[in-house]
Amino acid sequence: MDNEKNKDSGSYRISITDNETHKHIWGTRFTKVSLFVTAVSIVVMLCAMTYCLIAYTPIRTFIPGYPDARSKRAAIQNAIKVDSLERVIYRWELYSENLKRAVEGKAPIKIDSIIKASRKEAEEPTDAASYQKQDSLLREKVKEEEQFEISARGRRDLPIEGLHFFTPLKGVVSQNYSAAHPYIDITAAEGSAVKATLDGTVIFAGWSEDDGNTIQIQHTDDIVSIYKHNDKLLKKVGDKVKAGTSIAIVGNTGDTSTGTHLHFELWHKGEAVDPARYIKF
Res 81: pLDDT? 82
Could you say which residues of the chain have pLDDT below 50? 1-3, 5-6, 114, 121-122, 148-158
Amino acid (1-letter code) at residue 213: N
Amino acid (1-letter code) at residue 69: A
Res 251: pLDDT? 94
CB-side exposure of 166: number of CA atoms within 13 Å? 27
Task: Give the DSSP per-residue string, 192-232.
Answer: PEEE-SSSEEEEEEEEETTTEEEEEEEETTTEEEEEEEEEE
Res 36: pLDDT? 87
Amino acid (1-letter code) at residue 101: R
Q: What percent of the chain has pLDDT over 70?
A: 75
Provide CATH code, domain 129-277. 2.70.70.10
Q: Is the pTM of this model over 0.85?
A: no
Res 156: pLDDT? 42
Res 9: pLDDT? 55
